[in-house]
């Protein structure tokens, strides 16, 4: 053992370090499973640093900045050094590394950019993926890239995936059945208790109650997990006046400054106790000294992206069992602890095993751009633990093509390379490039950084207001963010020198969110966007009175999207900045109120009509196409199908269900999709639903039948059945099977059961009395004659004595008349 390793503290993971070193000496991939508090985050990198194969740096990935700073600080203190010497960290707004740094703790997004820019990872001996169970998009992508680089360029690169709660088998399989090293021990025992929350009890009330009870009955500091900032602040309000002194009450969530976050994890001053109210930010890779009680709400807030709307909404969900174990593990880091769960013990088994992978519910535009930069068209060519969903990837690539970042074959363009170089989400990168082209690089980059760093510039929805506040905001985090914005601006190619003329946030945002330009419709605070979706603001907000907005952030479901960040804009600026996207055209449209077609001259941005002028009523195909749009809105019930046309639909529907192709699908959904084929050509010049050509509807349906099978229609699905009496009776095709309603006397003498579809499908016979009342249904007429006919005859002959009820109907003459008088 080297000098450094001999000084490391003895923690549960210590016992497996030699095995881990041997596995990585013999191979280049491994998985380490160790429970919370085992010491893997700090001891493993320091141990591996002294291995003979480690001649370069070790990169340790952490899911959050707080965890990265804490891990680097802990390792540096074990070496008796300052952060930035042997151990440093690198993240978006803060770097502490030097020429002497050999262990770099980086956030997962930073690593993805490192390997994309240097696929060989020159000077790196090992990459360690810590807390991989959190399954962030950046971690999944980073591992996929590292495996690809290792296979093609760096066979000597060591890859280690670590977690306390990990789906070990799946990860090991992804790494070609890599060896799994397990550390079974825990630093200290944890007593898990349950305090069931009543169904109507608010989470902040339940948490405040549990905190006060634990504070009164137990010793030590408390870490309480809540789903989000709002619940933390409400719980804090409930506790502030009720906690005895000396107790320090501190929040811990992502919007806090680095200084405030570091304060939350520092030990409580001597003689005091600390209560930390935290989100999932405190779930992994940090030790809050003095904490021996964890209280878990059992809830977390996760972003969910909907490709069809482009909206990411936050959903409050139950934590997974893995997360619950992680949280409980925080109580046993420094001494025996207690974990109190605010749910019934029996509910734990119903929790999902793991938190859903972020890749399955995220905006994939940045991933799609990075894949193009890596030269991958099909993500299946990389080893993702879960492949990115095809709909979200398609939506992302469509967006990137619209921005000019991808070409028609999804290859990266020069614009795409410029966007990637900025380390910004694609939309904001496009905004920064456009801002630089107009002499507003600084303002565009400040706005971009503001929007990627939660909490900067205050909570206002109005981005002009937040941008002004950000420029004057004090504090280390704000200063670091402004420096980052300046670096980004300096790296941009500038078509014009930087101007001092002010520019509104809205004018800049147009280049990031052209599809979210919105016009007020339906009253104060209600808007419709260029993508056709609606969005709302509280009526009390100043922006609620605006005529036009650019919406940068919104949440909620498509029908009730709530605006989180926006800026005011005017039409002149929209036309100046988005000129090529604005269409001036003559349109024929359907008016829902009058159910008629009208024409107008429009100025349009996407689904937004900026201006319209009436034109004379349209004619010809244009009128029919607009009428078809009305049918799509109102449904097929708006069309006056004749009895013959409706019967034709039913017959065709029957043939499609029973035979399939080439008989057409004439369901409502199929016909609405094909209006251009069967409706428009037969309604030329029609301008209202009341004026639809009824005969044209029948002709249109007939046009869907392939010519080569048209002659078979009457044979396979006849409209009528010719009874032995010579009478014709309609066949119904409106149900699951064809039905013939007929008086039983008309079938006398018939031994074979009537059938359609070339004799393949028997008719469902609804046999009726002479008064046309049902007496029996059958799909086997011959069996009916020899079977239940006897009972029917006994019952019916007394009711209808004037009609024949022979003992042997199969050989009796058919009739549709009563018996002659006197017989």
Residues 492 and 543 both lie in one domain? yes
Peptide bond into 246 cis (omega under 30): yes
Residues 558 and 674 both lie in one domain? no
Task: List the single range of 476-485, 508-517, 554-563 with lowest mean pLDDT.
Answer: 554-563
Does the pLDDT at position 724 exceed 70? yes
Does the pLDDT at position 484 exceed 80? yes
pLDDT tens, residue by residue, 288-308 = 778 899 999 999 988 888 776
Judge whether 220 and 335 are in contact, CB under 8 Å. yes
* Average pLDDT for 473-501: 85
pLDDT tens, residue by residue, 585-600 = 888 888 888 899 998 9
Q: Is 142 helix (H, G, I), strand (E, B) or coil?
A: helix
Q: Is the pTM of this model over 0.85?
A: no
pLDDT-derived band at 647, boundaries 50, 70, 90: very high
Within-domain flag for 696 = yes
Within-domain flag for 792 = yes
Within-domain flag for 611 = yes
Does the pLDDT at position 463 exceed 70? yes
Judge whether 809 and 748 are in contact, CB under 8 Å. yes
C-alpha 327/C-alpha 62 separation (Å) is 17
pLDDT tens, residue by residue, 739-780 = 999 999 999 999 889 999 888 889 999 999 988 889 889 998
pLDDT tens, residue by residue, 73-102 = 999 999 999 999 999 999 987 899 999 999
C-alpha 103/C-alpha 113 separation (Å) is 18
Q: What is the pLDDT of residue 660?
A: 86
Q: What percent of the chain has pLDDT over 90?
A: 60
pLDDT tens, residue by residue, 727-748 = 999 999 988 889 999 999 999 9
C-alpha 628/C-alpha 615 separation (Å) is 19
Q: Which two tokens stand for residue 466?
A: 């937040």
pLDDT-derived band at 186, boundaries 50, 70, 90: low
Q: Provide CB contacts within 8 A for 741, sequence distance 6+.
A: 729, 732, 766, 768, 772, 774
* Average pLDDT for 62-70: 89
Q: What is the pLDDT of residue 529?
A: 92
Task: List C-alpha distances in Å: 396 to 304, 306, 385, 392, 515.
Answer: 15, 11, 20, 6, 14
pLDDT-derived band at 23, boundaries 50, 70, 90: very high
Mean pLDDT of the chain: 90
Residues 314 and 462 both lie in one domain? no
Q: Provide CB contacts within 8 A for 206, sequence distance 6+.
A: 195, 197, 198, 297, 342
Of 339, 359, 379, the last residue of a domain is: 359
**Domain with 68 in it: what CATH number?**
3.40.50.300
Q: What is the pLDDT of residue 1?
A: 39
Of 577, 598, 616, the last residue of a domain is: 577
Q: What is the pLDDT of residue 401?
A: 93
Residues 743 and 790 both lie in one domain? yes
Number of structural domains (the chain) is 5
pLDDT tens, residue by residue, 233-291 = 999 999 998 988 788 999 998 878 778 888 888 888 888 899 999 998 887 767 777 88
Q: Is 709 helix (H, G, I), strand (E, B) or coil?
A: helix
Within-domain flag for 694 = yes
Q: Provide CB contacts within 8 A for 673, sequence distance 6+.
A: none
Q: What is the pLDDT of residue 708?
A: 87
Q: What percent of the chain has pLDDT over 70?
A: 97
Within-domain flag for 225 = yes
Residues 43 and 177 both lie in one domain? yes
Residues 699 and 736 both lie in one domain? no
pLDDT-derived band at 134, boundaries 50, 70, 90: confident
Residues 608 and 742 both lie in one domain? no
Residues 26 and 173 both lie in one domain? yes
Judge whether 392 and 362 are in contact, CB under 8 Å. yes
Q: Which domain holds residue 791?
A: 718-811
Does the pLDDT at position 820 exceed 80? no
pLDDT tens, residue by residue, 666-710 = 999 999 999 999 999 999 989 999 899 999 999 999 999 998 888
Residues 703 and 775 both lie in one domain? no
What is the dihedral angle through the alpha carbons of 148, 151, 153, 157, rounded to the nearest 10 degrees? 100
Residues 752 and 699 both lie in one domain? no
Task: List the single range of 224-233, 409-418, 542-551, 730-739 with lowest mean pLDDT.
Answer: 730-739
Within-domain flag for 385 = no
Q: What is the pLDDT of residue 413?
A: 96
Q: Which two tokens stand for residue 451?
A: 């929007």
Residues 129 and 212 both lie in one domain? no
Residues 242 and 304 both lie in one domain? yes
Of 548, 577, 606, the last residue of a domain is: 577
C-alpha 312/C-alpha 302 separation (Å) is 10
Does the pLDDT at position 185 exceed 80? no
Within-domain flag for 396 = no
Within-domain flag for 484 = yes
């Amino acid at each position: 053992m080297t000098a450094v390793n001999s000084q490391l503290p003895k923690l549960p993971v210590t016992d497996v370090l030699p095995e881990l070193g041997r596995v990585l000496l013999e191979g280049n991939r491994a998985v380490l499973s160790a429970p919370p508090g085992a010491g893997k985050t700090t001891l493993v990198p320091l141990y591996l640093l002294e291995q003979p194969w480690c001649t370069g740096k070790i990169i340790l990935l952490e899911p959050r900045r707080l965890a990265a700073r804490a891990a680097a600080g802990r390792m540096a203190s074990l070496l008796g050094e300052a952060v930035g010497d042997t151990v440093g960290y690198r993240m978006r707004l803060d770097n502490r590394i030097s020429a002497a740094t050999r262990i770099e703790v980086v956030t997962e997004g930073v690593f993805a950019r490192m390997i994309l820019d240097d696929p060989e990872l020159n000077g790196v001996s090992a990459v360690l993926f810590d807390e991989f169970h959190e399954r962030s998009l950046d971690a999944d992508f980073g591992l996929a890239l590292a495996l690809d680089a290792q296979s093609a360029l760096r066979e000597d690169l060591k890859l280690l995936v670590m977690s306390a709660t990990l789906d070990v088998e799946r990860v090991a399989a992804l790494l070609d059945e890599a060896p799994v090293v397990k550390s079974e021990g825990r630093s200290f025992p944890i007593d898990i208790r349950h305090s069931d929350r009543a169904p109507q009890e608010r989470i902040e009330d339940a948490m405040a109650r549990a905190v006060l009870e634990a504070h009164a009955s137990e010793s030590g500091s408390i870490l309480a997990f809540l789903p989000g900032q709002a619940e933390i602040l409400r719980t804090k309000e409930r506790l502030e006046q009720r906690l005895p002194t000396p107790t320090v009450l501190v929040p811990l969530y992502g919007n806090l400054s680095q200084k405030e976050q570091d304060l939350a994890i520092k030990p409580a001053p001597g003689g005091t106790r600390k209560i930390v109210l935290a989100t999932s930010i405190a779930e992994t890779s940090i030790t809050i000294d003095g904490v021996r009680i964890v209280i878990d709400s059992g809830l977390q807030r996760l972003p969910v992206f909907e490709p069809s709307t482009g909206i990411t909404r936050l959903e409050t969900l139950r934590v997974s069992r893995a997360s619950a174990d992680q949280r409980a593990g925080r109580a046993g880091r420094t001494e025996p602890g207690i974990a109190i769960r605010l749910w019934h013990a029996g509910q734990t088994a119903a929790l999902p095993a793991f938190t859903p992978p972020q890749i399955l519910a995220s905006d994939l535009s940045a991933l799609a751009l990075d894949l193009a930069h890596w030269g991958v068209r099909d993500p299946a060519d990389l080893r993702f633990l879960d492949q990115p969903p095809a709909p979200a990837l398609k939506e992302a690539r469509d967006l990137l093509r619209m921005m000019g970042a991808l070409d028609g074959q999804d290859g990266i363009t020069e614009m795409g390379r410029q966007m990637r170089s900025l380390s910004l989400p694609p939309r904001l990168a496009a905004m920064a490039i456009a801002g630089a082209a107009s002499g507003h690089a600084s303002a565009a980059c400040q706005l971009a950084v503001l929007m990627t760093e939660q909490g900067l510039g205050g909570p206002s929805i109005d981005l002009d207001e937040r941008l002004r506040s950000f420029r004057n905001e004090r504090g280390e985090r704000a200063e670091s963010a402004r420096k980052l914005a300046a670096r980004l601006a300096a790296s941009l190619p500038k078509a014009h020198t930087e101007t001092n003329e002010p520019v509104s946030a809205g004018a800049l945002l147009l280049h990031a969110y052209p599809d979210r330009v919105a016009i007020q419709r339906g009253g104060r605070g209600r808007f419709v966007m260029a993508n056709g979706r609606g969005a709302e603001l509280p009526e009390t907000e100043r922006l609620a009175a605006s005529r036009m907005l650019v919406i940068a952030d919104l949440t909620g479901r498509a029908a009730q999207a709530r605006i989180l960040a926006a800026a005011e804009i005017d039409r002149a600026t929209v036309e100046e900045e988005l000129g090529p996207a604005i269409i001036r055209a003559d349109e024929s449209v359907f008016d829902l109120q009058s159910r008629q077609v009208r024409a107008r001259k429009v100025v349009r941005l996407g689904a937004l009509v900026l201006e319209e002028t009436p034109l004379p009523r349209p004619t010809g195909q244009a009128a029919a196409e607009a009428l078809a749009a009305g049918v799509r809105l109102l449904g097929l019930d708006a069309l006056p199908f004749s009895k013959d046309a409706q019967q034709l639909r039913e017959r065709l529907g029957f043939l499609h269900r029973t035979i399939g192709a080439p008989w057409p699908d004439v369901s409502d959904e199929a016909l609405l999709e094909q209006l251009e084929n069967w409706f428009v050509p037969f309604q030329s010049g029609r301008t209202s639903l009341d004026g639809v050509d009824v005969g044209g509807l029948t002709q249109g349906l007939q046009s869907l039948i392939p010519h080569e099978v048209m002659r078979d229609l009457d044979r396979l699905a006849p409209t009528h059945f010719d009874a032995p009496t010579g009478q014709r009776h309609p066949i119904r095709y409106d149900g699951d099977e064809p039905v013939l309603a007929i008086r039983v006397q008309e079938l006398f003498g018939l031994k074979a059961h009537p059938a359609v579809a070339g004799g393949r499908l028997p008719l469902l016979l609804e046999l009726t009395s002479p008064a046309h009342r049902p007496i029996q249904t059958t799909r086997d007429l011959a069996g009916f004659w020899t079977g239940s006919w006897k009972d029917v005859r006994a019952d019916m002959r007394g009711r209808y004595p004037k009609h024949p009820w022979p003992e042997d109907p199969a050989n009796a003459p058919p009739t549709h008349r009563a018996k002659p008088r006197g017989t």
